Amino acid sequence: QKEVEQDPGPLSVPEGAIVSLNCTYSNSAFQYFMWYRQYSRKGPELLMYTYSSGNKEDGRFTAQVDKSSKYISLFIRDSQPSDSATYLCAMNSNSGYALNFGKGTSLLVTP
């Protein structure tokens, strides 16, 4: 079993929809959680960075961490075609350690 599980999709939604992306993990020591967006043939771009449990909001993006359930989510409101990309969750137990990545979820927002 991989330490981080993420449904690869693809996920297709109409423009304006609310998108919910999720990851589960098995290592209870993880406490730093990140969401990245990656466009084709580009490096991942950090979207959200949270420490421990709770919610964090930035514009149209909201990240949620539930450590008791070992479950993290990223919500995208008012989705746009430009949001079409692969979304990767990543996490680790120490800020100096390498990240553990999910496989990434491919999102397509249709006009």
Of 26, 27, 45, 110, the one binding other proteins by CB under 8 A: 45
Asked if 95 touches other proteins (CB under 8 A), the answer is yes
Asked if 42 touches other proteins (CB under 8 A), the answer is yes
> CA–CA separation, 16 vs 10, rounded Å?
18
- Listed in order, strand segments (DSSP E) in 32-78 are 32-38, 45-51, 54-58, 61-66, 71-76
> CA–CA separation, 100 vs 33, rounded Å?
10
Of 14, 43, 59, 111, the one binding other proteins by CB under 8 A: 43
Asked if 1 touches other proteins (CB under 8 A), the answer is no
17 vs 100, beta carbon nearer other proteins: 100
Q: Count CB-CB contacts under 10 A for residue 74.
A: 23
Residue 104, both tokens: 């990434």
What are the residues binding other proteins (CB under 8 A)?
32, 34, 36, 41-46, 49, 51, 88, 90, 95-96, 98-99, 101-104
